């Protein structure tokens, strides 16, 4: 069974962004002191729903790729879109993943259910 390359690209880019983002935001919280730590903590809590949604999107993206299921690719694309809404300042980081997931969903053949 042939795997979708666009879904793989979306998975790799999404996982790389997630690792970078967690590293960046948690590093800012740990390395700060005093009032900076409070501000970094508030910023970290504001971005947390975006990160959680992106993590779930990457998980569904991986399921769609490894199981070759069209529905998981669609859910991954929708969750990337929700992540864009949750933190609009970083929409350009998850926009390519969402587009690639939706295009991969359109390219995948529908698997008949038994």
Q: Count of domains in the chain?
A: 1
Q: Does 113 fall in a domain?
A: no
Strand (E) or helix (H) holding 19: helix 5-31
**Residue 22 falls inside a structural domain:** yes
114 located within any domain: no
50-83 pLDDT per residue, tens: 999 999 999 999 999 999 999 999 999 999 999 9
- The pTM of this model reads 0.87
Range of the structural domain that residue 97 is part of: 5-107
Among 30, 29, 74, smallest CA distance to 47 is for 29
Over residues 19-43, the pLDDT tens digits come to 999 888 877 667 777 787 788 788 8
């Amino acid at each position: 069974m042939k795997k979708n390359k666009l879904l793989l690209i979306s998975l790799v880019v999404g996982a790389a962004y997630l690792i970078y983002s967690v590293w960046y935001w948690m590093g800012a919280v740990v390395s700060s002191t005093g009032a900076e730590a409070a501000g970094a903590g508030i910023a970290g809590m504001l971005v947390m729903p975006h990160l959680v949604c992106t993590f779930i999107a990457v998980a569904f993206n991986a399921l769609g790729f490894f199981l070759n299921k069209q529905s998981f690719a669609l859910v991954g694309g929708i969750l990337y879109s929700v992540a864009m809404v949750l933190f609009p300042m970083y929409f350009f980081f998850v926009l390519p993943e969402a587009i690639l997931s939706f295009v991969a969903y359109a390219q995948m053949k529908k698997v008949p259910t038994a």
